[in-house]
Chain A
Amino acid sequence: MAAKSSRKSSSNATAGQESAKEIVKTLEHFDPPAPAKFGKDDEIRAYRDMLLIRRFEEKAGQLYGMGFIGGFCHLYIGQEAVVVGMQMAMKEGDQVITGYRDHGHMLATGMEARGVMAELTGRRSGYSKGKGGSMHMFSKEKKFFGGHGIVGAQVPIGTGLAFASQYNRTDAMSITYFGDGAANQGQVYESFNMASLWKLPVVYVIENNRYAMGTSVSRASAETDFSHRGLSFKIPGIQVDGMDVRAVKAAGDLAAKHCRSGEGPIILEMMTYRYRGHSMSDPAKYRSRDEVQKMRSESDPIEQVKKRLLGDHGMSEDDVKAIDKEVREIVADAADFAQNDPEPDPSELWTDVYADEIPQTAE
């Protein structure tokens, strides 16, 4: 999990001598920063927010097993430090967009557990009135732009959000999350080129959890160091220990500074891991049980913080348990709410197709 400290220009970079040098120079500037220094309050916030995602996802898995949630349901368990660390580096007005493994991102932006869970159960108080489901949720208020089911599609869209911020002369940045598998889609590189050309304030956060469904990174990618993927577009990249929320926060801070000062896009490759199967019906035969257990026992993002809370920060087991209890209550309440909220009214089938009144061709 250790992030690489030295960086060389990749040997197959096609840029000419001069610009290759320039790129190296830029990249050296972006060696991974030291993990952020967290005070007790930061640690508590990180612990609580990550734990909320963990417990929420466990509950979602349970509700899926009970038949309350249908279709596809992709859990974020194991990757919590990425969104929580990034959120800690963001400020009000920044935009977030991601793929279908999106529950954690929504909770991190402050979207209500009740509304997210009710969307998962397809009920009327869900964020999309029950019409979107697990993969398609949005919150205009929290600047969360989805929730996208098509692998890679969020990348140009996230770039467009940054375009709008630049156009409107705000200092907001777009945090555009995508996976190691998505990183092979062509539209990612079309986006990189435009973002760099126009110096758009977008942070491309590649969540490298080592697998795209059943395919490991090395079976799908010629260049497995995703922080290098911006090289030929002159986009600097950093490889970050995505299991350490402090490392994520520090990288997020650096990226924010870069973006907000008009330097253009930046790539943060988060080295992370998903504990569960790709979706609920993944038999996960492509990796060993030991590999998963090793990650869980040695690198768990929540346990890391918990250890520090109990150690350096002198909290008692009971103090920590109180946070656990609070989180469990939020999740239990959300689950309860989501099971009892009514389904959408049948008339909702016909609403929201157009923004204005257009007669439907329904018979």
Chain B
Amino acid sequence: MPTEILMPALSPTMEEGTLAKWVKQVGDDVAAGDIIAEIETDKATMEVEAVDEGRLGKILVEAGSEGVKVNTPIALLLGEGEDEGDLEKAGSGSGGGGTKAADDADQKSSGKGSDSDGGGSAKPSRDEAVSDMSARRVPGEGKVHPEPKDVEGELAQEIPEGTEMVSITVREALRDAMAEELRRDDAVFVMGEEVAEYQGAYKITQGLLDEFGPRRVVDTPITEHGFAGLGVGAAFGGLRPIVEFMTFNFAMQAIDQIINSAAKTLYMAGGQMGCPIVFRGPNGAAARVAAQHSQDYAAWYSHVPGLKVVQPYTAADYKGLLKSAIRDPNPVIFLENEILYGQTFEIPKLDDWTVPIGKARIHRPGTDVTIVSFGIGMTYAVKAAEELAKEGIEAEVVDLRTIRPMDLDTVIRSVKKTNRCVTVEEGFPQCSVGGHIASEIMVRAFDYLDAPVLKVAGKDVPMPYAANLEKLALPSVKEVIDAVKAVTYRD
């Protein structure tokens, strides 16, 4: 029977793509490894290589088709001794193909089960994991997250009235922030693995090499400890380095330079010279990349005097805080999140949008409980607050944005109003950011508390690879809701 060639998933997060071009045509011989088609994903154009050898019998999805779901049969391959007559035997050889309806039908009949109702098929765990993950981990993915309008105080001060808002992804916000600062100050340069010619492993530095050239956008060898230290030296020498770690997991190779050299020099030099440098990159768990590649370093770095530690949630904060970090005279650890890179938020259209380091922000006002979170933790917090509102519990959601120096005043003010607090983060529970907040609330607002502070965190285990275990290891919206109900004595 002819072999079905299926629309492949080419990245851990891909669910559909555009079939841009057929490189092989019907009747062409195909050897394993030949390029048969090109497909476009959200991140890149990729070539589809043949796995089996044979002859291309039939094209089921025409070039130019958009939104082709992963696992849809896109063509039929004739094996040795097969000819066109055998095409009829192929299970899903629906007529013509290429239209979206046909694709969907094909996908169902192929029974490979990437579709949402899942059926009783053979459990393709990745699809489950990823589709669930976007629903669970990044509630509201694909939507534009509006800037909350009904918030007074801090937020209102940041955005002048009547400012036009535009939609932008976190990825674009980061790139724009770096581009603007590179234009503004010749001392600023970007350095890291694959930042220049490859355009960034996660495409955050896309286009920067073209605009600023190799003097300002520097590809390094895989030598984190070396280039982090080199960055520190360059900062001592008067430059303002932005050091990208491909992910913060790899910054552990460099953590001595970050802590012993970058963080402590100002103090050890009696204030004569410090280290204006930004260490940035994706932090925390992505999807299914297991223990050595899934770790949240917020608590680690926030332990260290001399460092500033930032972990934003919205695109506006990513942009505004990165610009502030680059201008800051201190070493700043700027923790991003891969899952958030593709998310779209509204951001004020201003020539020079900056957000001050060290200020939390009330993301959602409320009266019954304070939920404190930051970075991707906010996705659980915001979703939980929405669900709780349906049950009549109004949560005030505080987005810390900066972990160090921590804006505890905003947290304490909120807790004095709500008398209850739940913290949310993806990192490990022991010596966590939430643990620190709980201890500070105990000291500064003990008499205001009507319940113990509860923390929702990642589980106290290394991140497992298996889809079901990974899901269990991460916090969930339900855990946040349960914690809120516990501190408000509801069930």
User: A residues engaging B (CB < 8 A)?
Assistant: 58-59, 61-62, 64-72, 77, 119, 121-123, 128, 130-136, 148-152, 181-182, 184-186, 212-215, 219-221, 275-276, 280-281, 283-286, 289, 296, 339-340, 343-344, 346, 348-350, 353, 360-362
Contact = CB atoms under 8 A, between A and B. Distances in A.
A6 B253 CA distance: 37
B460 A130 contact: no
22 contacts: A59-B51, A64-B9, A66-B124, A70-B126, A72-B12, A123-B466, A128-B465, A131-B290, A131-B466, A132-B290, A181-B221, A181-B222, A215-B193, A215-B197, A220-B220, A220-B222, A275-B33, A280-B12, A349-B469, A361-B430, A361-B460, A362-B459
B290 A136 contact: yes
A278 to B, nearest CB: 10
A290 B473 CA distance: 45
Contacts of A123: 466
B359 interface: no
B130 A186 contact: no
A186 B10 CA distance: 32
Given A71-B465, A132-B291, 17 more contacts: A65-B7, A122-B466, A128-B465, A131-B291, A152-B253, A185-B253, A212-B221, A215-B194, A219-B197, A219-B219, A280-B9, A343-B468, A344-B464, A344-B466, A346-B468, A348-B466, A349-B473
A66 B71 contact: yes
Given A70-B130, A149-B292, A221-B221, A213 B6 contact: no
Given A122-B466, A184-B221, A219-B219, A360 B126 contact: no
B223 A70 contact: no
Contacts of B253: 150, 152, 185
A353 B464 CA distance: 11
Contacts of A149: 249, 289-290, 292-293
Nearest to A350: B461
Nearest to A344: B466
Interface SS majority for chain B: loop
A134 B473 CA distance: 19
B51 A184 contact: no
A67 B70 contact: yes
Contacts of A296: 33
B460 A283 contact: no
Interface of B: 6-12, 14, 32-33, 35, 41, 43-47, 49, 51, 70-71, 112, 114, 122-127, 129-130, 193-194, 197-198, 201, 219-226, 249-250, 252-253, 286-293, 429-430, 459-462, 464-469, 472-473
B223 A58 contact: no
Contacts, number: 208
Given A132-B465, A344-B468, A283 B292 contact: no
B453 to A, nearest CB: 13
Q: Which 6 A-B pairs have the closest CB atoms?
A: A65-B8, A133-B465, A70-B288, A71-B288, A281-B11, A130-B466
Contact of B12 (A131, A281, A348): A281
A67 B71 contact: yes
B194 A130 contact: no
A286 B125 contact: no
A70 B12 CA distance: 6
B198 A286 contact: yes
Contacts of B460: 353, 360-362
Contacts of B469: 122, 130-131, 343-344, 346, 348-349
A348 B291 CA distance: 14
A212 B130 CA distance: 28
Contacts of B45: 283
A131 B9 contact: no
Contacts of A148: 292
B259 to A, nearest CB: 17
A187 to B, nearest CB: 8
A350 B291 CA distance: 14
B461 A349 contact: yes
B56 to A, nearest CB: 17
B439 to A, nearest CB: 16
A362 B461 CA distance: 9
B363 to A, nearest CB: 25
A72 B429 CA distance: 26
Contacts of A68: 124-126
